[in-house]
Structure 1
Amino acid sequence: MSVQKFIVRTLLKLPDSILIKMSGGKPLAIDGRILDARMQFLAAQGAKQPSITTLDPVAARAGTADGLKLLDGAPSESVTVRSISVPGPAGSLAARLYTLKDAQGPLPGLVYFHFGGCVIGDLDTCHTFCTMIAEISQCAVLNVAYRLAPEHKFPAAIDDALAAWRWADAHADEIGMIAGRIGVGGDSAGGYLSAVIAQEERRAGRSGPSLQLLIYPVTDWEWQGGSMESCADVYPLTREIMDWFGGLYLNDAAEAKDVRVSPMKSSDLAGLPPAIVVTAGFDPLRDQGAAYAERLNAAGVPVTFRCEDSLAHAFTAMTGVVPKAKEACEAIARDVGRALR
């Protein structure tokens, strides 16, 4: 363990009262919710650092990766991880396959995509969380990297994610998954990609995934008001960073009206696969995630919805230092298991 990691983890073991005293003196309350003390401490420290919007994307990726290493938990030891390649429309996509060490025969599966605004993030971003899902849900998980902006703007990420899902669906036997019992999922940008995959497969008249796991998803890149304003300055995702992501990902702002960019704008959500939608209370994306869950439910789609009121965006990568984040991730994994098994 690095010295920096040791210091961070030691600090975050302090009592809530001390952490709050070090982070503004009183609990952070927004929209009737109170932020977890450890999250508040991290938010206060993050606010002291230059925003990733001041960096070029390559430096932002490296800096974010280094920061997450300080916060993420240890991968599950009961899961086997194998690096594989998945065919993509512009070349092979790096991927990791997570399976239970004692698995007997094929398992239900989940194709997973990491967060990062389609600009930052990689397979490591959700590595620990993918091992948690595999262990707790008793499902196989395929964690797939996709091309990032601005080097590869819209629709590159969508094209990669859709190709990866279709490959997994067609090659279920090869990767130890049960055909017809494979879902898609992800957090933030990964949740956005998963929602679009579900819609694209329905539009194509295909059977599509068995489940869509949408964790604090981006569902409308033009969303205004509500949590986009009230949580605009809460670490680690601010409104400024969302605008930065959008500017790098889209070729033109008008593309935000495309349903492949903003799945919320689809006029018909009927017939989509069952959904698990989980949002965070202190997140600019909170309200649009909840609104998408409501629209799915109104369209007759079975929906499991939950808002983790005391947590902020990206909690899936903070399981090593925020106990409530770990609890939330374990609950999501159990939801996945119930849905697919």
Structure 2
Amino acid sequence: MKLLVTGGAGFIGSAVIRLAIARGHHVINLDALTYAACLENVASVAKNPNYAFEKANICDAETMDRILTRHTPDAVMHLAAESHVDRSIDGPGAFIETNVTGTYTLLQAARKYWETQGRPDTFRFHHISTDEVYGSLGAKGQFTEETPYTPNSPYSASKAASDHIVRAWGETYGLPFVLTNCSNNYGPYHFPEKLIPVVILNALSGKSIPVYGQGLNVRDWLYVEDHADALLTVLQKGAVGRSYNIGGENEARNIDLVEMICAILDRLKPSNRPYSSLICFVDDRPGHDLRYAIDPSRMRDELGWRPSVTLEEGLEKTVRWYLANESWWRALQGREGVGKRLGTASSESND
């Protein structure tokens, strides 16, 4: 297939591209190269004849039309998004612009292209979203594809809006789409503002390891290469107009996750004291959802897919990757917001 992947220089998008190229697909990587993008993430495939790069913003309608017409993809895999909850608290406007307006603009371009091509049944618009659109769970239960949307952060609200827009374009205009909502990703090339890379890099630097609240928030952790495999599976086998929840089947409390990472570092790169001694508890994030958990039945029963990497295996792989790729993460340390506490605008405004 020929795939147009938006956000392909980001964490998940680059994993999709590396896997798609390895499987013989043609890929056009469309990325605006904002703060979290890094072309090093796709350096291993950059010279492959099946790979092309387009620097462009999905909010630019004219450019989206030109790129689709020029490359004639069989499918659009839409991963470009602002995705950090803390940043959405401090600056929600960028999230509405990219995640809502950008998705609308891309949908309009995809619809125009699809209609120009004669409305082929084989075309797909694959919208990649998050389980955060469902809101927060208590101690029990799991999100299913029928769970009502209850987003609690500017980020999750913007993604919920984009999900609804995609579904509306399918119902109203007939655009063939599939939609996926995933749990928390982790693994190689994870931009150093999210929990797992922050823990690893702060530990290696001897800095305090911040944990929100008491670390009791629970997430389902999905190794990014498993997620890439799942996305390609949905693209090729998923039913048009259907949504699929992709989970890692690896629930863990934040504090337990952090302690697991510290124990791996103790073994792989011993220090003069346990890395867990660096853990400190900080004021919780405003509107912090307690627990996310995904029911993976539809992926398993309809498409025959399950994650292959356990949390223990994935964390070991991830820590080893960061230890072996210091030049990658060192180059990102000076980017805006890295190494700083974000997401405090709400509490500050209420002082």
Under a length normalisation based on structure 1, what TM-score does the superposition of the two structures give? 0.34
Under a length normalisation based on structure 2, what TM-score does the superposition of the two structures give? 0.34
Question: Which structure has the larger Rg?
Answer: 2
